[in-house]
């Protein structure tokens, strides 16, 4: 019974969307007869809707749907209904239920892109290893206490590879620093780490990584010791030990990389720069009380 009511409500929303489209196109000179015929509805049902007094909920749905479409188009369709809900509520100053947003999105066939996940590993003989001190304790209230890091691979249209190294702060989910290179080497990781410390000179984080050759090198261990950071490493073959970092790779690839082809290294770099800026400053997160990472970070550091 409950399912039937939901289907009926969704059907009504879809019909209203069609009626609204007909009304707007008619203003541009298209005939009602042709528009109704194309949409597969009778003129009498359209005129019944046109002459019907709209309820408060009807008017509100039109406002919400208009905002949904704007947000969806602005982010090129990468948001699902939950993130759309956070943005709509923030913009309109309301607290709409995510189920309502879902129904409205479904009524106009809006859905987020599908995420794909890939992971490759480079085998190496470690010089130095560390225990899994983090131990999947991904909860942290303050910035610069727990940093995660990793390197992921991208491919250009011609088959050439590029490698992105990044550091994620568990306190606010922000990307503290990152570097893109042509090779997955020590310098790429060192540059990422040095930039993170340059931007956060007083940080002494618990620093967690997998057991990649860059992180097990003596030089990298010395860098950690120089700032009094504590090193932590995932267990062999346990990606979940670095779960939030793996999660970020899934996000950037599904919301940016998989949506288009990249012909040159510079083209990819620009897209990554733009995306990480968007992720840090505009992409709202439920776990951050509906704020973007940098926004949450700034509020936390001031408090």
> pLDDT tens digits, residue range 6-51?
555 555 667 777 888 888 888 888 899 998 998 888 998 888 888 8
How far apart, in Å, do the first and last CA atoms of the chain sit? 50
Would you say residue 237 has pLDDT above 80? no
Alpha-carbon gap, residue 102 to 80, rounded angstroms = 9
Would 188 be classed as within a structural domain?
yes
Alpha-carbon gap, residue 151 to 129, rounded angstroms = 18
Confidence band, pLDDT 50/70/90 cuts, at residue 138 = very high
CA 11, 13, 19, 25: dihedral to nearest 10 degrees?
-120
Per the prediction, the chain carries an average pLDDT of: 88
Would you say residue 174 has pLDDT above 80? yes
Q: Are residues 171 and 231 in the same domain?
A: yes
How many beta carbons lie within 10 A of that of residue 196, not counting itself?
23
The residue out of 78, 107, 136 marking a domain boundary is 107
Q: Rounded to the nearest 10 degrees, what angle do helices 43-51 and 32-39 cross at?
A: 110
Q: Are residues 156 and 293 in the same domain?
A: yes
Residue 48's contacts (CB-CB under 8 Å, 6 or more residues apart) are none
Of the candidates 130, 146, 138, the one whose C-alpha atom is nearest the C-alpha of residue 210 is 130
Would 139 be classed as within a structural domain?
no
Q: Look up residue 211 and give its two tokens.
A: 């057991």
Q: Are residues 160 and 32 in the same domain?
A: no
CA angle 275, 277, 278 (to 5 degrees): 60
Alpha-carbon gap, residue 280 to 139, rounded angstroms = 19
Q: What is the pLDDT of residues 88-99, one digit of tens each?
A: 999 999 999 999
Look up the domain containing 207 and give its range. Answer: 146-302
Q: Are residues 179 and 274 in the same domain?
A: yes
Would 248 be classed as within a structural domain?
yes
How many domains does the chain fold into? 2
Would you say residue 2 has pLDDT above 50? no
Would 213 be classed as within a structural domain?
yes
pLDDT of residue 153: 97
Is this structure's pTM higher than 0.85? no
Q: Are residues 152 and 79 in the same domain?
A: no
Alpha-carbon gap, residue 156 to 183, rounded angstroms = 13
Q: Are residues 159 and 297 in the same domain?
A: yes
Would 134 be classed as within a structural domain?
no
């Amino acid at each position: 019974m409950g399912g039937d009511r939901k289907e009926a409500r969704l059907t009504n929303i879809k019909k209203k969307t069609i009626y609204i489209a007909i009304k707007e196109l008619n203003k541009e000179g298209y005939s009602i007869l042709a528009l109704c015929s194309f949409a597969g509805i009778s003129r009498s049902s359209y005129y019944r809707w046109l002459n019907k007094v709209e309820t408060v909920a009807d008017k509100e749905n039109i406002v919400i749907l208009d905002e949904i479409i704007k947000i969806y188009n602005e982010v090129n369709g990468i948001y699902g209904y939950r993130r759309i809900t956070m943005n709509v509520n923030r913009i309109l100053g309301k607290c709409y239920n995510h189920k309502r947003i879902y129904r409205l999105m479904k009524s106009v066939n809006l859905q987020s892109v599908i995420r794909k996940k890939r992971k490759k590993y480079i085998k190496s003989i470690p010089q130095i290893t560390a225990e899994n001190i983090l131990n999947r304790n991904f909860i942290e209230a303050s910035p610069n206490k727990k940093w995660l890091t990793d390197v992921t691979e991208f491919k250009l249209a011609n088959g050439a590879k590029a490698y992105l190294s990044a550091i994620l702060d568990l306190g606010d989910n922000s990307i503290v620093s990152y570097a893109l290179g042509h090779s997955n080497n020590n310098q790429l990781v060192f540059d990422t780490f040095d930039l993170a410390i340059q931007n956060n000179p007083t940080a002494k984080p618990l620093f967690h990584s997998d057991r990649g050759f860059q992180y097990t090198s003596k030089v990298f261990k010395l860098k950690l010791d120089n700032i009094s950071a504590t090193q932590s490493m995932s267990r062999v073959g346990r990606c979940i030990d670095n779960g939030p970092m793996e999660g970020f790779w899934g996000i950037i690839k599904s919301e940016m990389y998989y949506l288009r082809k990249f012909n040159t290294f510079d083209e990819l770099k620009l897209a990554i720069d733009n995306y990480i800026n968007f992720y840090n400053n505009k992409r709202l997160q439920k776990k951050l009380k509906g704020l973007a990472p940098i926004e949450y970070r700034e509020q936390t550091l001031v408090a």
